[in-house]
Amino acid sequence: MPPNPPRAAHLVGSTPFTDAPEALDIFAARLGPYLRTVSDGETGSRQNWIQGLMESFRDHPDLEVKHAGKWTDYNDVLTFRIRRGHRFAADNLDLGYLRHFEISWPEFEQRRSDFGNGTNGPPRFQVGIPGDFNLSSFTFGPVGGLRMRHVFRDATLRDIRAIYARVGDGVVFQVEVPYEQVGVTMAPSFLHRPAAAFLAGGIARLAREAPEGSRWGIHLCLGDMNHRALGRLRDTRPIVALSNAIVARWPAGRHLDFMHVPLAEAVEPPPIEPEFYEPLRGLRLPPETRFIAGFIHEGRTLEEQRGLMARLDELLGRPVDVACSCGLGRRSREDALATIDMAAELCRPS
């Protein structure tokens, strides 16, 4: 691989691999300097995003099961309520971000040189952070989610501050916000902008209350439960609305390194119709914020994806970085490896 490739790949988070050492070794061997951030593969209990975390809430002393969902679809999720006479607070809520970081960071440091010097030097470590509104809403439902969001925000910020205190800008926090993107997507088109403005405020608040100098990325998401999407796009207008609203409200002193957008819908491959992508001309990202196009998919050929990538380059007026629409945790090992290899092929200069 060349020492300074012009285009980068991005790994959203979860993988079907065994553990962090195996995931990091695969990333280094197959993508090497094409990565600007490196996750630990989010294996084990994190493979299915927040499902493992929510299952752990069964043992939380202040919560009891409201609906014993089995995660078969979006209408069959596990939800909770606060036990009568109990107080649910951040000081008794461990979301695990710091614990997982403390296990994986030494593994990453040991292998950092294996990734070489990519487009912006050695890669940073990526910590996936589910949006606080997403956690709260999945736990308590939409109404309870609004009421208890501050508890999840405070618990999230506690871990973010601890991680940042240890490694500073050696880490990028990737905020994952399917609730917000699906909310804008499901709204009538005339409500895209006001809905995006409201929802973006909460995303920006998390960064604003985090340490100055911290680095961030946004993973917009349409859902990937059992490799099925919750939101459906007619075109990219909802993505543009939410992205622009986040940028407009982004706090000073916090680096917005990237905006990752979903252009495929889980098992459904990205559209090839040009008009689907035309609204991206209205995207207003700062020059220093990378646009990561989540279109890599086993349902499209490499040549189809090269054509799509060229179209996106033209629409954005700069080379886009490439990724899948979501984490690889809901794919088979073989499909995950194939999409990683496809990302390398798309990044490799022709």
The angle formed by the CA atoms of residues 304, 306 and 308, to the nearest 5 degrees, is: 70
Domains of the chain: 20-59+89-347 (3.20.20)
Bridge partners (DSSP) of residue 173 are 127, 216
**Neighbouring C-alpha atoms within 13 Å toward the C-beta of 172:** 26
3 state SS of 168: helix
Q: Show the CA angle centred on residue 40, arms to residues 138 and 131, nearest 5°.
A: 25
Buried b (16+ CB within 10 A) or exposed e, 66-86: eeebeeeeeeebbbbebeeee
Tens of pLDDT along the chain (350 residues) come to 444 457 999 999 999 999 999 999 999 999 999 999 999 999 999 999 999 999 999 999 999 999 999 999 999 999 999 999 999 999 999 999 999 999 999 999 999 999 986 555 789 999 999 999 999 999 999 898 899 999 999 999 999 999 999 999 999 999 999 999 999 999 999 999 999 999 999 999 999 999 999 999 999 999 999 999 999 999 999 999 999 999 999 999 999 999 999 999 999 999 999 999 999 999 999 999 999 999 999 999 999 999 999 999 999 999 999 999 999 999 999 999 999 999 999 999 87
Nearest Cα to Cα of residue 202 among 153, 160, 262, 259: 153
Q: What is the pLDDT of residue 4?
A: 44
Beta bridge partners of 124: 37
The reported pTM is: 0.96
Confidence (pLDDT) at 237: 98
- Tokens standing for residue 101: 């970081």
